[in-house]
Amino acid sequence: MSTNELTLTPSQSPSLVNNKLSLSPSQALGAVRRPVNTNGWRAWLFTVDHKKIGIMYGVVAFTFFIVGGVEALLIRLQLALPDGRILSADKYNQMFTMHGTTMIFLFAMPTAAAFANYFLPLQIGARDVAFPRLNALSFWLFIAGGLILNASWFLGGAADGGWFMYAPNSGPVFSPSNGVDFWILGLQIAGIASLIGSINLIVTVLNMRAPGMTLMKMPVFTWMILVVQFLLVFSLPVITVALVLLMFQRSYGATFFDVSQGADPLLWQHLFWIFGHPEVYVLILPGFGIISEVLPTFSRKPLFGYPFVVFSGASIGLVGFGVWAHHMFASGLGPVSVAVFSMATMAIAIPTGVKIFNWILTMWGGKIWYSAAMKFAIGLVVLFTIGGLSGVTHAVAPSDTQQTDTYYIVAHFHYVLFGGMVFGLFSGFYYWWPKVFGKLLNEKLGSWNFWLMVIGMNLTFGPMHILGLQGQPRRMYIWTEARAGEGFFNFGFWNLVSSIGSFVLAVGVLFFIINVIKTSRNPERAPLDPWDARTLEWLTTSPPKVHNFDRVPVVHHLDEFFHRKYEEDEANHSMKSIAIGEDLIRAEEDAADADIHLPGPSYWPLLLAIGVAVLGLGVVYGTPIMVVGALVVLFASFGWVLEPSVPEAIDFDSPSHDGHTKEIAPLG
């Protein structure tokens, strides 16, 4: 979308030219030449630029959002009236499984990855992530995982065991279609993508912050993303084990979940939820991070209690590893385990509550600007609180055993995930759109977008509380008039309300798409600092140049950009303006660093991802395909290692920022 808008600055082109000249074809494994001067689609396919990768993550993830949304609408159509005939029982099972899987792994996580990729280096004053090629590999592996997951629709039916795919139900006896095999492979590959991405981002945050930016001067969004990456590093391997065991059982005859052989049916549940619960915070914390940027900006006040928000986020992440069994209260764990996990779960409400009060106090007494981004942020605070309260009722084990596997659970997690995470992401879209594309999204359409989504979401998920408490089981594909009950709390009325609500919600999302199309056709450029923002990503042009910052900023304050614009008036303790954002950006341009080198584009991440995908398909389609995949992986790995990441001869870095874009062979 913004290819044409990204122009090379004079200071940057010499190194690229030099890069091209200094590379002989023989250096890149003797066969192919490195794609240094790319344009058009090649500039996207072989890019290692974190901003382009971020945009691609966003576009693909939003596409999956629409796919998952259509699946949700089909589910609601089926349940709108008694004896629904839209879907068969089998298709219905596939639909809710793929809806959950798509929304979590192919929409929510990659959209957070999109924001993280794009803004994390900008917020810490870096020129790229620590390992640009690994970053590209993460993205292509995510695509491979998403395609494999969804290919199952056309290759014998999608997975049908629910998003947590409990074994032994997902074993070969009860789930004979190869949908589960595709599901395993898709998640396995998407998991590798997330693992690589998380290592990459942690190293970036810990090692590549601009001079002066201590950990406690980092923007909250960066902090929350850092916590999320630690959660991923330590939780993904556990689901990897679960997936591998299930794969061994389904494809190679192992017995891990075969109860007739004496297997323990709780093994999968434990392994899955040791990953699955931290995953919940993986989904919500980026949203928390985004609104912790948006609320202060649009309240014209600093974030209330910054260290509390940061440490609350970190403690949510930490305690999040010790509460997984609250998903299993109905499975007969025994009173001691249930008591411990119940207490731990309630304890998580404390840091979460701290955050909510911090956000409210940030707005308190502020000059609030109700922009679309701000509306979504306030929406998150309100809706997440509702979801959080129903969450506390799950922490109470006796109450939870009544709610397990009813629509009450569905209501709860949609309030926290849709009301929390999705509203956070939409807040981010409106807040950062001018940064990424240089244009402001239309505020009026944004308002429609917001209100329709709020109304739609409450109409859809609110009634589910009632349905669940009345006993409607989750994942039931049909309900009958005879058992719907009577009076105000009958199933029929509330199911219909919920289904109508889901279409209101869909229209709300449609308004966002219309807004995007309209904005892309609008020639008007956004101001460089449209929101009078506070953090470093605004201290550069919109969209940012390839090398992000003309001069690596030296940081003295939390909210550095704000403190360059305002200083405290000693007389009456108010902030007075000392500079305008646009002037500061221009000043940076004038003082640009002389020589900036950037890592060159590469074929290998894409090729390696294709190899991994083929290797994975070999599990379903036989060993020969696996061998082909393995050979491609081997070839691409050697090509990668032997590709000179940054030749010494063009290492033009001036000492002050050396290391910020440096990529060192062979791991990068």
Partner 1 sequence: MADIATHDIDHATDNATDHATGHGHHSSTGLSNNKLAMWLFLGSECLLFGGLISTYMLYRGRVQNGPHPSQIYDIPFTSVSSFVLLMSSLTMVLAVSSAQRKDDTKTNLWLLITALLGATFIGGQVYEFTAFYREGLGFTTSLFGSSFYSLTGFHGVHVSIGVIMLLSLMGIIKKGKITGDKAEVVELIGLYWHFVDIVWIIIFTLVYLIPS
Q: How far apart are CA 129 and CA 599, in angstroms?
A: 10
Q: Which of 300, 360, 644, 652 is in the footprint of partner 1 by CB under 8 A?
A: 644
Which positions from 219 through 278 interact with partner 1, judged by CB under 8 A? Answer: 233-238, 240-242, 244-245, 248-249, 252-256, 258, 261-264, 267, 271
Written as six digits, the tokens of 435 are: 């940064």
Six token digits for residue 326: 């609250």
* Residue 117 interacts with partner 1 (CB under 8 A): yes or no: no
> In this structure, are residues 63 and 142 in contact, taking their beta carbons and an 8 Å threshold?
no
Q: Does 314 bind partner 1 (CB under 8 A)?
A: no
Determine if 666 is a binding residue for partner 1 (CB under 8 A).
Answer: yes
| Residue 154 near residue 178, CB atoms below 8 Å | no
CA-based nearest residue to 232, from 320, 341, 135:
320
Residues 601-640 that bind partner 1 (CB under 8 A): 638
> Which of 199, 346, 507, 510 touches partner 1 by CB under 8 A?
199
For partner 1, the closer of residues 229 and 299 by Cβ is 229
**Considering beta carbons, is residue 261 or 572 the nearer one to partner 1?**
261
User: In this complex, which beta carbon is closest to partner 1, that of residue 213 or of residue 421?
Assistant: 213
Contact residues for 475 (Cβ-Cβ < 8 A; gap 6+) = 93, 96, 162, 405
Q: Find the binder of partner 1 among 26, 39, 214, 577 (CB under 8 A).
A: 214
Could you report how far apart the first and last alpha carbons of the chain are, in Å?
Answer: 27
The count of residues in the chain is 668
Question: What binding mask, one character per residue, do residues 343-382 give for partner 1 by CB under 8 A, x or -?
Answer: ----------------------------------------
By CB under 8 A, name the one of 127, 209, 375, 564 that touches partner 1: 209
For 218, counting Cβ atoms within 10 Å of its Cβ (0-12 exposed, 13-18 middle, 19+ buried), the class is buried
Are 638 and 28 a contacting pair, CB within 8 Å? no
Q: Which residues contact 579 (CB under 8 A, 6 or more apart)?
A: 564, 565
Confirm or reject binding of residue 665 to partner 1 (CB under 8 A).
yes
- Which of 17, 556, 579, 631 binds partner 1 (CB under 8 A)? It is 556
Measured in degrees and rounded to the nearest 5, phi and psi for residue 409 equal: -65, -45
Total residues in contact with partner 1, by rule CB under 8 A: 66
Q: Tell me how far, at minimum, the Cβ of 100 lies from partner 1, in Å.
A: 23
CA distances from 435 to 115, 368, 448 (A): 12, 21, 22
Contact between 452 and 511 under an 8 Å Cβ cutoff? The reply is yes
Query: Which residue, chain included where needed, has tokens 């900006």?
Result: 297
The residue among 332 and 487 lying less far from partner 1, judged by its C-beta, is 332
Stretch that binds partner 1, among 176-184, 206-214, 357-365, 423-431 (CB under 8 A): 206-214
Please give the helix or strand (H or E) that residue 576 lies within, else none: strand 574-577
* Least spacing, CB of residue 244 vs partner 1, in Å: 7
**Residue 200 binds to partner 1 (criterion: CB under 8 A):** yes
Residues 61-90 that bind partner 1 (CB under 8 A): none
How many angstroms separate the CA atoms of 645 and 124, rounded? 23
**How far does Cα 179 stand from its chain's mean position?**
24
Q: How far is the CB of 261 from partner 1 (least distance, A)?
A: 6
Question: Which residues sit at the interface with partner 1, rule CB under 8 A?
Answer: 130-131, 195, 198-200, 202-203, 206-209, 211-214, 216-217, 233-238, 240-242, 244-245, 248-249, 252-256, 258, 261-264, 267, 271, 554-556, 638, 641-642, 644-648, 655-660, 662, 664-668
